[in-house]
Structure 1
Amino acid sequence: MKWILFLLFPVLLFSQSNYEKAKSAFDKETTEKLRLKYESILKTDPNNLKALEELGDVAGLNKLWDKALAYYGRLKSLKPNEADYHYKYGGTLGMKALEVNKFKALGMIGDIKDSFEKAIALDSKHIEARWALIELYLKLPALIGGSESKAIVYSNQLLTISQVDGYLSRGHIEEYYNRFKSAEQYYKKAIEVGGSKHSYQLLADLYKNKMGAPDKARTILEEYKGKNSLN
């Protein structure tokens, strides 16, 4: 089931807007303290939205998918018009799909997709849900809904919301289909408009691991260091 590369936490590594949050190290001691804190809150306030969300996040980080789904499902019931709750529910459902049998996972695809689409319907500028759908359409076989053209549709939507995410997502699509020169150009555009470390790293990784150009990879990382040496 490797073709379902999902999604709640992996997709944050691509999304420009959440990259800084996603790169922070997984700290078991911290998450355990959070769990205890918010479980205590729920004892006296069982509908506390922040506590439910934090506990869902902690469960997800610990790969307790069913527990995370229970928290996010509760959030959806309490506040059905909150886009992030649908996004997190869909992402967690996708992660669970990696660990169940093939036929059960196939039956989950519709709910995963619906969750991300619902997040976009509720928040027209939801970046992460679009990244998730891009990854979905790239990884699924065509016979069960995979589609490069649909992935590009969401990438184009990202471009209107966040130029950096738009260029990074299109570069990701081009790289996935081994169109490395095209991917290179999109990553360069992301660097031009944003200049983030993440954008430089993606281009460097492309040079080193896909285009057989380690010298270019070193040069692009040195360029980033030079531009940010005074920061």
Structure 2
Amino acid sequence: MRYLVILAFFITFQTFASDFNRAEMLFQQEKFALAKPIFEKIITEEPKNYKAIEYLGDIAGHAKNWNEALGYYEKLKKADPKNADYQYKFGGALGMKAKEGSKFAALGMLGDVENAFLTAAKLDSKHIETRWALVEFYLQIPGILGGSEKKAQKFSNELLSISPVDGYLARGHIQEYFSRYLKAEPEYKKAFEIGQSKTTYQKLYNLYKNKLNQSKKAEALKNAFENKNTKK
């Protein structure tokens, strides 16, 4: 009898693992509607399967169901308040809810959004996504509610020490946000020189073409980037 119990346990464990792997694969393929019920079944049988809960929060976020996403991220945040990713995702979902809802309702959420992001940044000194979120937060929020270019610059400088490409992109983004396009150019150029990626190329190309109206520079950059990537 004892061996039958052990055998049943392993069969159940393997079934859970198989279901999770299948749902995870579907998620990675962006087949969220198919992955969701599998993850829901998993957490019904394993309420503390935090990875499945996180995936369900992410699926809700992709669907812009912010209240549903917040429900999942709130569970994760309470279960492990020192997890920077959970704090970041909670802050992001709450921020999107505030952005897409009424302005009056948003006023009551901004402090919680900021606190979640700042907590995540404190918990993980190298959390890139959180610092990008804080840069954007302090740019978008009016000064009377706590917005500040100085604060945005602070987190762009932190990004620079963690990831130079992200740091220069963030610094360029701040300059571009305030329409200081000539000051944005050297920041985007540095990001492109270091990263040589599609993202850094597009930022610099867009600046030349659409903000500085320097079509020759934009075309030269485009040709150089395309030629380099064609040879690879």
TM-score by length of 1: 0.85
Contact 1:201 1:221 in 2 (8 A): no
* Paired positions, count: 206
- 1:142-191 CA distance string (max 9 Å, x none): 11111111110111111100000000000000101111111111011001
Which secondary structure state, in structure 1, belongs to the residue aligned with residue 213 of structure 2?
coil
- After superposition, residues 55-74 of structure 1 pair within 5 angstroms as 55-74=56-75
- After superposition, residues 1-231 of structure 1 pair within 5 angstroms as 30-231=31-232
- 1:25-59 CA distance string (max 9 Å, x none): x9997011121221121121011111101000000
Q: CA deviation at 1:215?
A: 3.2
Q: Distance in 2 between matches of 1:221 and 1:196?
A: 12
What's the RMSD between the two structures over aligned residues?
1.6
Structure 1 runs, 4 residues or longer, greater than 4 Å off: 26-29
Q: CA deviation at 1:100?
A: 2.2
Q: CA deviation at 1:99?
A: 2.6
What residue identity is the alignment partner of 1:80?
Answer: P
Q: Aligned residues: percent identity?
A: 52
Q: Distance in 2 between matches of 1:191 and 1:99?
A: 33
Which sections of structure 1, spanning at least 5 residues, go unmatched? 1-25
Q: CA deviation at 1:109?
A: 0.5
What residue identity is the alignment partner of 2:79?
Answer: L
Q: Distance in 2 between matches of 1:27 and 1:63?
A: 18
Contact 1:82 1:122 in 2 (8 A): yes
Larger mean CA deviation between 80-89 and 139-148 belongs to 139-148
What residue identity is the alignment partner of 1:103?
Answer: F
- Answer 1 or 2: higher relative contact order, Cα 8 Å, separation at least 6: 1
Contact 1:164 1:193 in 2 (8 A): yes
What residue identity is the alignment partner of 2:113?
Answer: I
Q: Distance in 2 between matches of 1:215 and 1:30?
A: 42
Q: Distance in 1 between matches of 2:229 and 2:48?
A: 45
Which sections of structure 2, spanning at least 5 residues, go unmatched? 1-26
Q: CA deviation at 1:129?
A: 0.7
Q: Distance in 2 between matches of 1:224 and 1:70?
A: 44
Larger mean CA deviation between 27-36 and 134-143 belongs to 27-36
- 1:6-29 CA distance string (max 9 Å, x none): xxxxxxxxxxxxxxxxxxxx9997
Q: CA deviation at 1:217?
A: 2.0
The structure with the greater share of residues assigned to helix is 2
Q: Against the structure 1 CA distance between its residues 226 and 106, is the aligned structure 2 distance closer, same or farther, given a 3 Å change threshold?
A: same
Which secondary structure state, in structure 1, belongs to the residue aligned with residue 75 of structure 2?
helix
**Bigger Cα Rg:** 2
TM-score by length of 2: 0.85
Q: CA deviation at 1:61?
A: 0.5
